[in-house]
Amino acid sequence: MSADDPNPQQLGEKLLAAVGGGEEDELARLLDAGASVDSQDAVGRTALALASASAQLAVVAKLLERGAGLEISSKSGMTPLMVAALKGHADVATLLLRNGANVAAQDMFGRVSLMFAAAGSHADVVRVLLEHGADAAVRDRNGLDAAAMSREPTCSDTLRSADRIQRWHRRRLLVLWGR
């Protein structure tokens, strides 16, 4: 490495700036130059989390192809899936889930992606998360579940229905296991 070559930290900062600016070609160039795909900013957000927040589906896909960590969280414990759920990006959430994102991951307050989607009244993201196994009965450290966080009737109804179905399935499994 010569004196003119950027160090890994500089490459990471440039990578995050390229994601923030939606510069796909620059992103690829920086990754090819050795920037860490899992570079983080001062609050721990990765390039994948930034792309997820701004619904840059092509960038999210490119970062996943390059091995970006799905479960690397910010200092507050937010994963890229939580960010996509919070922002209401169902297509990004679907891509992350199809690539193995943990639907049950919790932030430092015990909140899961389903809670962020419900709090933002993102019924489409709520449905995606439920289809991928999100548990509507999970409660955060304050004892709230996703339905309690929802301010939109469609989300609340979807969550209550899912909770009833999930409870029925749990009871059914207990009956079957008890035989």
User: Mean pLDDT of all residues in the chain?
Assistant: 90
Q: What is the pTM of this model?
A: 0.87
Q: Where does residue 82 rank: exposed (0-12), middle (13-18), buried (19+ CB within 10 A)?
A: buried
Helix, strand, or coil (residue 149): helix
Q: In the chain, what are the domains?
A: 1-72 (1.25.40.20), 103-179 (1.25.40.20)
pLDDT reading at 173 higher than 70 = no
CA distance 51 to 93: 11
Helix, strand, or coil (residue 133): coil
**Residue 157 binned pLDDT confidence (cut-offs 50, 70, 90):** confident
pLDDT reading at 174 higher than 70 = no
CA distance 139 to 110: 7
Mean pLDDT value across residues 155-166: 78
**Residue 172 binned pLDDT confidence (cut-offs 50, 70, 90):** low
Q: What pLDDT is attached to residue 146? A: 93
Q: How many residues does the chain have?
A: 179
Q: Where does residue 55 rank: exposed (0-12), middle (13-18), buried (19+ CB within 10 A)?
A: middle
CA distance 118 to 116: 5
Residue 20 CB partners (closer than 8 Å, separation 6+): 50, 54
Q: What pLDDT is attached to residue 121? A: 93
